[in-house]
Amino acid sequence: MAKKLYVGGLPYSTTEDELKDYFSAAGAVESAVIIMDRMTGRSKGFGFVEMSNDDEAQKAIEMFHEKEFGGRTLTVNEARPLEERPKKSFND
């Protein structure tokens, strides 16, 4: 089963293809997504990589966590499930 990893500290110029290629050194990459700011369209400096299995995900964490990539230090760990956010009220 695929395992999703959080990748923080990405250079803002990193593309999804570059991220996928970099993580492929640890195993098969199912997907790589860089989170973009809705207002500016620029990278927020973090993303998610989905590895094909738990062993490859663990290998990626060991290989890339706190390593330099494009002049910045990466943070790589298992992604946490998305939490429900409270709805914003404009009447408060």
Tokens 């500016």, residue? 40
Residue carrying structure tokens 């230090």: 73
Q: What is the pLDDT of residue 92?
A: 52
In a domain, residue 13? The reply is yes
User: Does residue 10 lie in a domain region?
Assistant: yes
Task: Indicate whether 91 belongs to any domain.
Answer: no
pLDDT at res. 68: 96
Q: What is the pTM of this model?
A: 0.86
β-strand partners of 46:
8
pLDDT tens-digit readout, 37-51: 999 999 999 999 999
Query: Which residue range forms the structural domain that includes residue 70?
Result: 3-78
**CA–CA dist 14, 70 (Å, integer):** 8
pLDDT in tens, 22-38: 999 999 999 999 999 99
Confidence (pLDDT) at 58: 96
Are residues 12 and 42 in contact, defined by beta-carbon separation less than 8 angstroms? yes
